[in-house]
Amino acid sequence: MTKQSVRLAIIGFSGLIGKRHTTHVLANPSTELVVTVDPSPTAPTVASSLGIQHVPLFTSIAEMLNSSVPRPDAAIVCTPNHTHVPLATELVEAGIPVLVEKPLSNDIESGQKLVNLAQSKRVPLLVGHHRRFNPYIIAAKQALDSGKVGKVTAISGIWAVFKPDPYFDASPVGAWRKYKSQGGGVVLINMIHEVDNLQFLFGPIIRIHAEETLRRRITTAGGDEDDAAEEGVALTLRFASGVVGTFIISDAVVSPHNFEMGTGENPTMPRVRLPHGGDEIDVYRIFGTEGTLSVPDMRLWRYHEGTEKTWTSPIGHEKLAIDQDPRVPFDRQLDHFVKVVLGQDEPNCTGQQGLSALEVCEAIRSAIRSDTGTVVLKRTVPN
């Protein structure tokens, strides 16, 4: 390993998120893709399509570690959710720093064991909540910390989109998304990103009320209906700070109100702007004692200086700037991972922080199944 280059392994490159990670690793001057692991029968074909057919390909981590191929400096795990812990455990046991795609685990207990193992072996373990590197989230955090909205009182959020049937295709790559037991469902796949954003901005969530939306598609044809993954949830939230919030999430409705279309961070999803003025679609609204900030249009509404703060006074607005770094969040996250591997930085999203988001998502699912729809979190996992 040189000062400028980190030799990486990608575990599970043939899926949607694996292809994205592979593309960014290949384009980054500080990383070298030296080995891949993927048991999918389509892996060789996908490797050719990505231009990595020359990179050694193995069907398991054990096979990779027992081969004559030099051990990578670090690895990125981007496999189906239920495989994250066992695969990351193998890598940590071998002393290899790991960036694990979210969620870290399907359950708190196994995730905590992985975190404890990484801590005991002093092996860096990061969780892929890449939106912590998104310029809109960074700008929102700076605005909140600087007091531009005053004391935050409440928030509202939306993540709504329509996922087509091929996303849940019965092929080995996509079938797991249909089942809760395998980490499928909009809560663990998508809401976990929103939870990490919310806790990054407002601190730990301590109470949840959840109502599941109506099912609009059949996700378990020939399978266990009780294991069918949820399509959407309406939430009310309370944070440890006293802030309250609402959130709607669904992957079965037609809507532009989602983080990807609002920010343009995912190149596979078209960015949406309002027809007049070209503003982004807002997905979060943050209500404070001095103003209201919407994200990602970054419009801050507040009274002008010298104007009486009352509902009979005109209220003005300004558009907050974001940094103009052209790198997308995945690139920023990869640059950060390189620095962590080289000992130049501390993890931006640790295993414990990844577990904190998972704990909230687990509580959401518990609330859906409960008679009251409400769960109080013990917060055994620090944020």
Report pLDDT digits (tens) over 119-142. 999 999 999 999 999 999 999 999
- pLDDT bin (cut points 50, 70, 90) of residue 2 is very low
Q: Residue 220 above 50 pLDDT?
A: no
For the segment 10-23, what is each residue's pLDDT rounded down to a tens digit? 999 998 899 999 99
**Among the listed residues 22, 327, 351, 363, the one whose alpha carbon sits nearest the alpha carbon of residue 187:** 363
Residue owning tokens 């103009």: 324
- pLDDT bin (cut points 50, 70, 90) of residue 224 is low
| Mean pLDDT along residues 215-236 | 77
pLDDT at 223: 55
Q: Residue 364 above 80 pLDDT?
A: yes
Q: Domain segments of the chain: what residues?
A: 6-131+329-348, 133-326+359-376
Percent of the chain with pLDDT strictly greater than 90: 78
| Mean pLDDT along residues 207-214 | 96
| Mean pLDDT along residues 99-113 | 93
Pairing of strands 152-160, 284-288: antiparallel
**Which strand (E) or helix (H) includes residue 365?**
helix 351-369
pLDDT at 218: 61
**Mind spelling out the 3-state secondary structure of the chain?**
CCCCCEEEEEECCCCHHHHHHHHHHHHCCCEEEEEEECCCCCHHHHHHHHCCCCCCEECCHHHHHCCCCCCCCEEEECCCHHHHHHHHHHHHHCCCCEEECCCCCCCHHHHHHHHHHHHHHCCCEEECCHHHHCHHHHHHHHHHHCCCCCCEEEEEEEEECECCHHHHCCCCCCHHHHEHHHCCCHHHHHHHHHHHHHHHHHCCEEEEEEEECCCCCCCCCCCCHHHECCCEEEEEEEECCCCEEEEEEECECCCCCCHHHHHCCCCCCCCCECCCCCCECCCEEEEECCCEEEECCCEEEECCCCCCCCCCCCCEEEECCCCCCCCCHHHHHHHHHHHHHCCCCCCCCEHHHHHHHHHHHHHHHHHHHCCCCEEECCCCCCC
**What's the rounded Cα separation, in Å, for the pair 163 and 28?**
30
Yes or no: domain 133-326+359-376 corresponds to CATH 3.30.360.10: yes
| Mean pLDDT along residues 85-113 | 95
For the segment 150-189, what is each residue's pLDDT rounded down to a tens digit? 999 999 999 999 998 888 875 666 777 888 877 788 998 9
Contact predicate 319/299, CB 8 Å: yes
Residues in Cβ contact with 4 at an 8 Å cutoff, skipping those fewer than 6 apart: 29, 30
pLDDT at 1: 42
Tell me the CA distances in angstroms from 83 to 235, 327, 337, one per residue in order: 28, 29, 21
For the segment 336-353, what is each residue's pLDDT rounded down to a tens digit? 999 999 999 999 999 999
In CATH, the number for domain 6-131+329-348 is 3.40.50.720
Residues in Cβ contact with 224 at an 8 Å cutoff, skipping those fewer than 6 apart: 179
Question: In whole numbers, what is the pLDDT of the chain averaged over residues?
Answer: 92
Contact predicate 49/60, CB 8 Å: no
